[in-house]
Structure 1
Amino acid sequence: MKLILGLVAILFLNIVSFGYAEDDKIAFAGYLEKTLGHFWAIEKNLDDNNANLAIVHATHPISELYLSMKPELKKANPEFDAQVQKTLMELHSKVGDKVTRKDAQKSIDEAKRIIEQARSIVIGDKLSKDTNFNVAVMINLLAASKAEYAEGVKNGKIAEMIEFQDGSSFVWRSQQIFEKIKPDLPKTQAEKIGKLYPQVWKAYDSNVEPSEVARLVDSITHELDEVSSTKTESANLGTYFDNIQKLLADAKKQYAAGKPDVAQSLVTKAYLDNYEYLEPILLKQNPVLKKEIELMMRQDLRTMLKTGESKDKIGTQIDAILKKLEQAKKLVMSEQKPNSEKYTTSSKYDAQSKDVNCAKPMRLLSNKETGKTTCVKSESVAKMLKSGWTK
């Protein structure tokens, strides 16, 4: 009997650990896709003879996305991690106006090859081809594109070109994934999504209001939800604040424990995967506060981590950021609808109410045994289903 129970326990732990591994791989795939999106933006700008914008997009993967990829790369293959870092670090010098378009393309193609190799090493070829896996990556890319577009376009004009191009590159990458998995999707959803993408591009070309782009992108997400049999609940921005608080607190602990690379990754995730979704509304309510937090987190804190400041100074900086975030949270939450007071306060928050609203792109799951409901990130759904939760 003890042997049986032991085997059951081992099996359960393996299932849970597999779920966590899959969550990490979905997040990692998102960073790869965003990197490929920046490569596409480099190509577009070079074709338009805009080397300056091309260089900006060439710096984003190494200055932001690589920091989030590094822990997984280093764990999988330290030597290859160094190769990825070197390739991305040198890219900006190989796509400027001092090199020919042909030579620049060679460098971009080599960087693409490295990224695909990273996909194979960390994610694996089998999972990379899985339809549900790719649907989850698409949903996250589309959510990120909305936030970028909202920052990039104001009053029918492009106010921030980099953010505008970031948004379009993420849409483009999601469409590339769609074309790859389209044969495996139900015909109805595939046809609807296929008709929506041209509408999104038309909206981009016309610089329509962010709300219209959000409507079109949400329509694609809705069809993807139908495919994955999970429903995206109404958005609530409070979750992002809670995620940032936890990530920064963990970053402080990891840095104090002598793990600066892990701390850098956590801070980058706090910004890219959470704060960026808050920026559009903060920009409307208090642009000065929005910029202060952005610089404190994205620039100052990451520079301090990189240069090896003392753990006390790092702690002080994080505390200052959290204090500013409290001000921002009061402003942002005042924009929430009255019925959104039932929002969840973390990605794994348990609640008794069946009326919980989850923040996009999170999913609402329930546990029949306990009667509880929970909001989890889309990439965590598979893990939760395997551990007893239901949609």
Structure 2
Amino acid sequence: MSLPTSLALLTLTLTGAALAAPKEPIKFAVTLEQMRGHYDASLLNYRNGDLAMAAKHAKHPANELYAAVRGDLTPALQQKFLADYARINQTLAAKKPYAEYQKVMNTFYADVDTALATLGAARNDPKFAAQVIAQILENAEHEYEEGVQGGKVTNLAEYQDAISYVARARTWFDRSARNFPQRQRDETAGALRDAAAVIARKGDVKTLEKAVDQAKEELGEISGVKQAPKSSNAAYFANINRLLAAAKAHYAGGMTDDAEEALIGAYLENFEYLESPLAKQDKALETKLEKTLREDLRALLKSKPSAQKFNAAVDAALAELKKARALLGE
């Protein structure tokens, strides 16, 4: 017995909506907020006349972060995001007035909101919001560690990322705070203020870590997800090795998008946390590996090389990673 046409269409619509739901909702939301954070920093620099720094921030959403969410975006949103990136880059390159740059950026922000709407009811769940805020703050702490040493800004882009990420965390908190228990709400608000103050005065990273840990502890009580212990360097290296092996397997199987996602994970979720300790041991090797994992392997992937050529490039990176691991005593 066939379904009535209207019911069949409704079934297809509901099925399509289910398929559109992100497979890793927390990671999806946090990555979108990272995009916004980069563009917030780009806007600030653009307004201040630093177009070079504005361009540096603007390249991250499309060049690095998009691949991490692409598979969770509907085809229509994929097209919108790519069109937004193109308009943003064109406006930046043409050095249009700030108001025009802000206008195209606001279009992208609206599309991010549409993407977040695919989370459904989860987006308004205080437990979900608490996990998103905690992860954004962890990312801010990492960026700050990369950007400030001894009370001085050593990497302006990373420092500005830390500022933007804390602001994005604060936005999520302000929207969700009324649904948090009062004690956790008050303690988290205080920790967020402390974190922002440490960053503003370029304070010690340990002081920032203390504020972030306090916020994460309170947020963990809300979400029921306790703070995970910080990963060791050995764990990061192991994850990179696993993800690079996965990239090779995916590419050999014709799954280029999956291969790129594995490369993104190897860099963003693992090697970034090794950059600071490795730079203290061998800055040249750290710089080389950062470029390889962040840019070169993905650029090679996009050129559609033979599986043999791609595997050789990945194996060369693994050999360099082995040297880095030895330097860090892992």
**Shared fold, TM over 0.5:** yes
Q: Which whole-Å CA distance do the structure 1 matches of 2:75 and 2:154 have between them?
A: 41
Residue aligning to 1:39:
39
Q: Which whole-Å CA distance do the structure 2 matches of 1:330 and 1:174 have between them?
A: 36
Q: Mapping of 1:270-309 within 5 angstroms?
A: 270-309=266-305
Unaligned runs of 5+ in 1: 1-17, 335-391
Residue 62 of structure 1 aligns to which amino acid in structure 2?
A
**2:165 is the alignment partner of 1:170:** yes
Residue 50 of structure 1 aligns to which amino acid in structure 2?
D
**2:313 is the alignment partner of 1:317:** yes
Residue aligning to 2:150:
155
Give the conservation status (yes or no) of the 8 Å contact 2:126–2:222: no
Per-residue CA deviation, residues 99-143 of structure 1 (Å, 9 max, x unaligned), is 11211111111111111112223x23x111111112221222111
Residue aligning to 2:255:
259
Q: Structure 2 residue aligned with 1:98, among 95, 98, 111? A: 95
Residue aligning to 1:143:
138
Residue aligning to 1:24:
24
Residue 319 of structure 1 aligns to which amino acid in structure 2?
D
Q: Mapping of 1:232-381 within 5 angstroms?
A: 232-237=227-232, 238-332=234-328
**How many residues are paired up?**
310
1:244 positional shift:
1.6
Q: Which moved more, 1:227-236 or 1:180-189?
A: 227-236
Give the conservation status (yes or no) of the 8 Å contact 1:147–1:280: no
Identical positions, percent: 30
1:333 positional shift:
5.2
1:194 positional shift:
1.0
Sort the Cα spacing of 1:332 and 1:129 in 2 relative to 1 into closer, same or farther, 3 A: farther
SS in structure 1 of the partner of residue 52 of structure 2: helix
1:271 positional shift:
0.7
Per-residue CA deviation, residues 77-97 of structure 1 (Å, 9 max, x unaligned), is 323312211211331222457
1:170 positional shift:
1.4
Residue aligning to 2:126:
131
Q: Which whole-Å CA distance do the structure 2 matches of 1:271 and 1:39 have between them?
A: 20
Give the conservation status (yes or no) of the 8 Å contact 1:70–1:265: no
Q: Which whole-Å CA distance do the structure 2 matches of 1:327 and 1:235 have between them?
A: 23
When normalised by structure 2's length, the TM-score is 0.88
Residue aligning to 1:226:
221
1:159 positional shift:
0.9
Residue aligning to 1:116:
113
| More helix, by proportion | 2
Give the conservation status (yes or no) of the 8 Å contact 1:156–1:208: yes
Q: Which whole-Å CA distance do the structure 1 matches of 2:238 and 2:291 have between them?
A: 19
1:41 positional shift:
1.1
Unaligned runs of 5+ in 2: 1-17
SS in structure 1 of the partner of residue 24 of structure 2: helix
When normalised by structure 1's length, the TM-score is 0.75
Sort the Cα spacing of 1:97 and 1:86 in 2 relative to 1 into closer, same or farther, 3 A: closer
